[in-house]
Amino acid sequence: MKPPLALLLAATMALPVIAAESTAPAKPDLAKGQALSVQVCGACHTADGTRGSPANPIIAGQHAEYLVKQLSDFKSGKRDSAVMKAFAGTLSDADMRNVAAFYASKSTKPGFAKNKVLYSLGQKIYRGGIAEKQVPACAGCHSPDGAGIPVQYPRLGGQHADYVDAQLVAFRSGQRANSPPMEDIAARLSDREIKALADYIAGLH
């Protein structure tokens, strides 16, 4: 006896769903991510990704998708850093998802602006851009409070001023070449404008 047509159609329609589920990446494992943070990342970024050396980024609370992209870029060489390439090169795709999810799950700690003279300039650029230079407001992509937008734009609020300064200079010089929009924007910023933005971002929350 042949199976009813309705059953055949239902079975056929279910095949793509089953195939999609079988190829979907596994849910990140926070315990494995924590182990990697201790074994690989913690020496520079601290065990929970909070306020370590100003030369290294604060990655606690950073969007997991953004962290995975940066690790992938380091591993492939798209983002230049001999140190990070060596570490990222040891990580599988699953490792990257696990450790990124672990750091993303951590709470950030507030930072502080230090330069009162530059603060107002940084605030003006972050919120309103620089019209005469065609520099857009940073808040448009990174949000008014610096929380960023998952996948597309990283969290900036409370980030070390030294690190933000260094990254904007790297974008401007072309040394960091894994974000064409940021290369274009940073190319229009002066040293003083970069320092003002970095200081304002450090205290943003």
What pLDDT does 20 receive?
A: 45
Mind listing the pLDDT tens digit of every residue in the chain (205 residues)? 445 544 444 444 454 544 444 566 789 999 999 999 999 999 999 989 998 899 999 999 999 999 999 999 999 999 999 999 999 999 999 999 999 999 999 998 888 899 888 999 999 999 999 999 999 999 999 999 999 998 789 999 999 999 999 999 999 999 999 999 999 999 999 999 999 999 999 999 8
Distances (CA, A) of 178 to 26, 52, 56, 120, 184: 27, 24, 18, 29, 12
What pLDDT does 23 receive?
A: 63
What pLDDT does 19 receive?
A: 45
Q: How far apart are CA 101 and CA 60, in angstroms?
A: 10
Q: How far apart are CA 108 and CA 62, in angstroms?
A: 9
What pLDDT does 4 receive?
A: 54
Structure tokens, 73: 């870029």
What pLDDT does 146 receive?
A: 96
**Cβ proximity of 202 and 111 under 8 Å:** yes
Q: How far apart are CA 182 and CA 174, in angstroms?
A: 10
Q: Could you give the domains of the chain?
A: 30-104 (1.10.760.10), 116-202 (1.10.760.10)
What pLDDT does 24 receive?
A: 66
This prediction's pTM: 0.86
